[in-house]
Structure 1
Amino acid sequence: MSEHIPAPNGPAQPQLAADTTPDNPWPLARLSENLKNYIERVSPTWVEGQLIEHRVSRGHAWMTMRDLDVEMSLPVVAWARTANGLDPSIKEGARVVALVKPNFYTKTGRLTMVVNDMRPVGIGELLARVERLRRALAEEGLFAPERKKPLPVLPNTIGLITGRDSDAMHDVQRNVWLRWPVARFEVIHAAMQGPRVSDEVSAALHVLDQDPRVDVIVVARGGGALEEVILPFSDEALVRTVSELTTPVVSAIGHEADRPVLDDVADFRASTPTDAAKNIVPDAAIELAGITDVRTRMAQAVQRLVDVQGQQITQLRSRPVMAQPETMIQLRAEEISQLITRSRATFGHQLHRATDHIEQLKARVRSLSPQQTLNRGYAVVQHDNSILRDASRVAVGDDLDILVAAGRLTATTTSVTETSKE
């Protein structure tokens, strides 16, 4: 830190910026010198970005680097000695890494990011990064087959994310409508190259995923340079967005040889936008031909069934039992008559035996009946409502009730003669 000599007879300058006041400020030179000393202590730093501006003036290269993921840029300058040694491929649009160090020019108060070295990022290195990301996400399970969602047989509405008025959009729509003329699209235009691809495509994916009408989403882009096709659609944030959606996603990026990481996480990978159209809707002509074929085969099957049943009916009608159906009735009538006759004979025999048995039982009952005894001349004598068995129980003059075979009479005892019970 440089020293500053205070004015004669003036107050001492504050040592710290926080101690300055309106009455005792720092001179501007002191602030500039302190900033320069502080900034020059920052170590040179390697940064990566894309050159969106590159011009050479008096041998110096004035450039602007933009971040690969967010909208943020930084002006840098390579002085003539450094600029003369840069790779010729370093130009506007190139992806580079640069060793930069801030420099503060005290006379004008300008901060400049000075490039001490700059190297282009080769396509080989970029593809190696993509492969490392692909392996890491595969180990995480984002590409597992069980995570793939099946495509709908016939989508209600097709969500399409593509560039504005792009060939890919026309290819998808034209081929879909050739196959299924009534197909409907919900199209969202997004950047298909450059640093905004991940953010804009991810935002479009979320919008379509929340639309209940959309049954499948297609991300389509035509062919191009590897850094335009593979790199933007291998962004990790974009890949993770696709893995979290509930709507099936079809990746239709570039040509067959192009394979961004988006292809691996998508539910279906189409080799081209045209191939995507062929896989998201059926071919109406083929479906109509199939329906016609099925209807023909159904009609033939029904006709064969009718023919077989007709032949069976003809065979049944030719049988004797069908030619003279009364024969069967006569046979059954004779069988019924025989059964009736046998039943009547059996029932009559059983009834006769039962009648004889009843008569025998009646005779036995009658022989044991007290009435039968009375009929033979015996009588039942009752005294005091009890059957009299012993004459000694009756005194002369007692009334007796006498039951005979036919009727009842009352008598008075005139004499009692006892007999031995032996």
Structure 2
Amino acid sequence: MSAGHETTTGPLPIGQFARLVQHTVKNDPLFQHQALQGEVSSWSVHNGNIYFTLRDDDGQMDCVMWRSARLKVDPSIKVGSEVIIIGSVDVWPKRGRLQIVVARIQPVQTLGAMEETKRQLIETLRAEGALDLPSRRLPLLPKHVAIVTGADSAALSDMRQLMTDRWPGLRTTVIEVLVQGEHAAMEIVRGLAVTRALARPEVAGRLGLPPVDAVIVGRGGGSPEDL
């Protein structure tokens, strides 16, 4: 060991060092929840977990997707598929093995198709004039805000905290709806119908509330396929 790197603590046990590496990568944002792209070069399933290797021309890494996340896997993925994953680096100290724990995986061509569908929908809505409807000016100080969002979501918690900090005492009504999945659109429309009713003074008055004069439709983050 060079003089510039001498230590008085002595050599670390290898297991302790492996756990130190694990702690470091699990607490560094650079190695957590990263979006990565590559080609699947191996693919196997064991005890419900998926083990695969992600590679490109410059390198490769072992990946694992636990069975709890396996329901989100596109069945078309196989060896040779080009995919995008969302994953976090972890280290298995007993084996000294570094791998990516994958939360999401999606074929690149599927994401491209989703973007094309989104583009076509926007063009259709624009052609129908739905995007050109006149907007209403928001009140400077709303008296009653309706929030259409998922139940017990982080997004709802953030919105409530922000409104409490900026406008303490502001009246809010939460209308809980599904914000992803095949029934989400119908649920959100239902939620907006409730806010429209609460905007009528006679309806709000029967509930002892001021009429709704502002509406928030919101959700937190999510993968592109969920959104």
- Give the structure-2-normalised TM-score: 0.47
User: Which is helix-richer, 1 or 2?
Assistant: 1
Identify which of structures 1 and 2 has the higher relative contact order when contacts are C-alpha pairs closer than 8 Å and 6+ apart.
Answer: 2
What TM-score do you get using the length of structure 1 for normalisation? Answer: 0.26
Structure number with greater Rg is 1
- Structure having the higher strand fraction is 2
